[in-house]
Amino acid sequence: MSETLLEISDLCVSIGDARVLDGVGFGIASQETFALIGESGSGKSMIALAIMRLLPSAARFEAGHVGWRGRDLLDAPESAVRALRGGEIAMIFQEPMTSLNPVLTLGEQIGESLALHRQLRGKALRREAVGLLQAVGIAEASARLAEYPFRLSGGMKQRAMIAMALAGNPRLLIADEPTTALDVTVQAQVLELLREAQRRRGMGMLLITHDLGVAGIMADRIGVLYAGELVEIATREQFFSAARHPYSRKLFAALPGRSAARLMQIPGSVPQAGTRFSGCRFAQRCDLAEARCFVTVAPWVEVDAGHFARCHLLEKAFIASTETSAVTAPVVSNGGAPLLEVDQLSVEFSLSALRWFEARRTLLAVDRVNLYLHAGETLALVGESGCGKTTLGRVIAGLQAADTGSLVLRDSAEYPTDAGQRRIGRAGVQMVFQDPFASLNPRMRIDHLLEEGMVAMHVEEDARRRRGRLRELMAQVGLPEQALERYPHEFSGGQRQRIAIARALAVRPRLIVCDEPTSALDVSVQAQVVNLLRDIQQQSAVALLFITHNLVLAGYLAHRMAVMYLGRIVETGATADLLERPLHPYTQVLLAAIPRPGQAAAGVIRGEAASALHPPSGCAFHPRCPRAQTLCTHTEPSALSFAGGHIVHCHFPLTADAQAGGSVAGLTQ
SS (H, E, C) 240-305: HHHCCCHHHHHHHHCCCCCCCECCCCCCCCCCCCCCCCCCCCCHHHCCCCCHHHHCCCCCEEEEEC
Helix crossing, 463-476 with 446-456: angle to 10°? 120
Confidence of residue 446 (pLDDT cuts 50, 70, 90): very high
Q: How many CB atoms lie within 10 A of CB 83?
A: 14
2 burial type by CB count under 10 A (0-12 exposed, 13-18 middle, 19+ buried): exposed
Burial 60-74 (b: 16+ CB within 10 A, else e): eeeebebbbeeeebe
Strand pairing report for 172-176 and 89-92? parallel
Nearest in space to 6 (alpha carbons), one of 64, 55, 66: 66
- How many beta carbons lie within 10 A of that of residue 399, not counting itself? 14
Angle at CA 517, nearest 5°, toward 516 and 520? 85
Biggest alpha carbon–alpha carbon distance for the chain? 77
What is the per-residue pLDDT for 529?
87
The answer to whether 487 and 442 have CB atoms below 8 angstroms apart is yes
What span, in angstroms and rounded, lies between the C-alpha atoms of 393 and 400?
Answer: 9
Residue 150 DSSP one-character state: G
> Is the model more confident about 157 or about 559?
559
Which of 6, 593, 515, 59 has the alpha carbon at shortest distance from 273? 59
Average the pLDDT over 62-74 and give the result. 92
User: Contact at 8 Å (CB) between 521 and 434?
Assistant: no
Question: Which burial class, exposed, middle or buried, applies to 118 when counting CB atoms under 10 A from its CB (0-12, 13-18, 19+)?
Answer: middle
Q: Specify whether domain 1-81+172-186+207-329 bears CATH 3.40.50.300.
A: yes
562-580 pLDDT, tens per residue? 999 999 999 999 999 999 9
Task: Give the confidence band of 656 by pLDDT, cuts at 50, 70, 90.
Answer: very low
CA atoms within 13 A on the CB side of 323: 8
At 311, the amino acid letter reads C
Q: Strands, DSSP E only, in 179-262?
A: 204-208, 221-226, 229-235
Cα separation, 515 vs 320, whole angstroms: 36
**Torsion region of 140: left, alpha or beta (phi above 0 gives left; psi -120 to 50 gives alpha):** left
The pLDDT, as a whole number, for residue 372 is 94
| Domain at 340-562: CATH code | 3.40.50.300
Query: Each residue of 512-542: b (16+ CB within 10 Å) or e?
Result: bbbbbbbbbbbbbbbbbbbbbbbebbeeebb
SS3 of 634, please?
Answer: helix
β 639-642/646-649 pair status: antiparallel
pLDDT (0 to 100) of residue 420 = 39
Q: In the chain, which segments carry CATH 3.40.50.300?
A: 1-81+172-186+207-329, 340-562
Residue 605 CA to residue 588 CA, distance in Å, equals 10
Number of H helices and E strands in the chain, helices first, is 22, 23
Cα–Cα dist 384/398, whole Å: 23
For 387-424, how does the pLDDT look when each residue is reduced to its tens digit (9 = 90+)? 889 899 999 998 888 999 998 887 654 444 444 344 44
pLDDT value at residue 90: 93
Judge contact between 188 and 603, C-beta under 8 A.
Answer: yes
CA gap 235, 253 in Å, rounded: 19
- Could you give the CA distance from residue 551 to residue 561 in angstroms, rounded to a whole number? 9
Sign of CA dihedral 487, 493, 499, 503: positive
Please give the model's pTM, rounded to 2 decimal places: 0.82
Buried b / exposed e across 634-650, counting CB within 10 Å, b at 16+? eeebeeeeeeeebbbbb
CA distance 581 to 642: 11
Q: Which residue, 77, 91, 79, is CA-closest to 6?
A: 91
Residue 629 has a CB neighbour count (10 Å cut-off) of 11
Of all residues in the chain, what percent are helix, strand and coil, respectively (each to 5)?
35, 25, 40
Model confidence at 478, pLDDT cuts 50, 70, 90, reads confident
Segment 94-151, tens digit of pLDDT: 777 778 899 999 999 999 999 988 899 999 999 999 999 888 878 788 888 998 888 8
Q: In the predicted model, what is the mean pLDDT of residues 428-448?
A: 89
- Residue 466: C-alpha distances to residues 470, 472, 504, 534 (Å): 6, 10, 15, 25
pLDDT at 448 over 90: yes
Helix extents (H) in 28-105: 44-51, 78-84, 96-99
What mean pLDDT do residues 22-43 have? 93
Q: What percent of the chain has pLDDT over 90?
A: 48
Q: Which class for 315: exposed (0-12), middle (13-18), buried (19 or more C-beta within 10 A)? A: exposed
659 within 8 A of 582, measured Cβ to Cβ: yes
DSSP reduced 3-state for 596: coil
d(CA 137, CA 500): 39
Helix, strand or coil for residue 99? helix
